[in-house]
């Protein structure tokens, strides 16, 4: 029986760096799992659209699809936008919506590796405060998840870890940087908990002006690719309910 097609659903952006990063991540996923067909669709701004990809797959005779939201938290897009798009897919498709990528220990490992790539070392952990900077959301569940990731990450040996948000929620990145300074951390680092460059990640970077270290976005890191495939494997198990079956 053929494996389901993996449809990676990205938000999309007017910033060309966003789509370039998504495509780089998908290439890494394909390299890790050459036996799985991986397609990419965007909710907005970029092409191909999710609905367009689904129509093309149905026209080819594809039957099974795992739709994977390229999102770090379960907020509005995962709960509303994506299910709405999938519900309008061609009836012949059996679509399972996979879970979002976060939280995951692999993503925390990716955040840490990005900090080391930016100049920190494991020996710096106990004297370094980290701002876990996410895009932000009006969804309280998403905000609570970011706060919990910060608490768990702090337990791995950092001086302190504070969540911050580029929009919709407080505190902002710059305020969290100043809070960690006031706590007495010898240095302050900002770790963007975002997948790709764009408007909000640029806002995070501006808020990190007073920090000592600014890490890169998660991007096409191997850890993100592995999480993506883990979510695919879980979603394609027959026990899950299909959308539009």
CA triple 83-140-244, angle to 5 deg: 10
Q: In the block, which residue shows the tokens 């007495």? A: 184
How far apart (Å, rounded) are the C-alpha atoms in residues 62 and 76?
28
What pLDDT was estimated at residue 80? 86
CA triple 42-101-134, angle to 5 deg: 85
169 backbone dihedrals φ, ψ, rounded to 5° = -135, 165
- DSSP H helical ranges for 99-210: 105-117, 140-154, 173-183, 199-207
Per residue of the chain (245 residues), give pLDDT as tens.
Answer: 789 999 999 999 999 999 999 999 999 999 999 999 999 999 999 999 999 999 999 999 999 999 999 999 987 778 889 999 999 999 999 999 999 999 999 999 999 999 999 999 999 999 999 999 999 999 999 999 999 999 999 999 999 999 999 999 999 999 999 999 999 999 999 999 999 999 999 999 999 999 999 999 999 999 999 999 999 999 998 644 444 44
Sign of torsion over alpha carbons 209, 211, 213, 218: negative
CA proximity to 104, closest of 10, 238, 229, 239: 229
What pLDDT was estimated at residue 242? 45
Assess contact for 161 and 193: CB atoms under 8 A. no
What pLDDT was estimated at residue 243? 47
pTM above 0.85, yes or no: yes
What pLDDT was estimated at residue 226? 98
129 backbone dihedrals φ, ψ, rounded to 5° = -95, 140
How far apart (Å, rounded) are the C-alpha atoms in residues 232 and 214?
31
What pLDDT was estimated at residue 75? 79
What pLDDT was estimated at residue 238? 63
3-class DSSP assignment, residue 117: helix
């Amino acid at each position: 029986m053929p494996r389901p097609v993996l449809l990676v659903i990205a938000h999309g952006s007017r910033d060309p760096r966003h789509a370039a990063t998504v495509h780089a991540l998908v290439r890494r996923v394909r390299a890790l799992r050459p036996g799985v067909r991986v397609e990419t669709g965007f909710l907005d701004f970029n092409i191909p659209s999710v609905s367009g990809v689904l129509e093309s797959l149905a026209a080819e005779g594809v039957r099974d699809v795992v739709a994977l939201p390229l999102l770090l938290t379960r907020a509005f897009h995962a709960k509303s936008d994506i299910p709405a798009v999938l519900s309008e897919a061609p009836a012949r498709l059996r679509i399972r919506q996979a879970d979002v990528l976060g939280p995951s220990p692999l993503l925390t490992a990716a955040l840490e590796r990005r900090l080391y790539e930016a100049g920190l070392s494991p020996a710096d952990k106990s004297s370094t405060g980290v701002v876990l900077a996410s895009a932000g959301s009006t969804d309280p569940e998403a905000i609570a998840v970011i706060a919990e990731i910060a608490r768990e990450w702090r337990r791995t040996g950092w001086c302190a870890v504070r969540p911050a948000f580029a929009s919709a929620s407080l505190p902002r990145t710059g305020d969290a940087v100043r809070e960690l300074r006031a706590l007495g951390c010898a240095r302050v680092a900002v770790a963007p908990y975002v997948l790709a460059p764009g408007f909000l990640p640029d806002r995070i970077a501006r808020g990190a002006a007073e920090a000592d270290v600014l890490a890169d976005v998660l991007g096409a890191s191997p850890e993100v690719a592995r999480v993506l495939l883990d979510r695919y494997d879980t979603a394609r198990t027959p026990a899950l309910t299909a959308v539009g079956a």
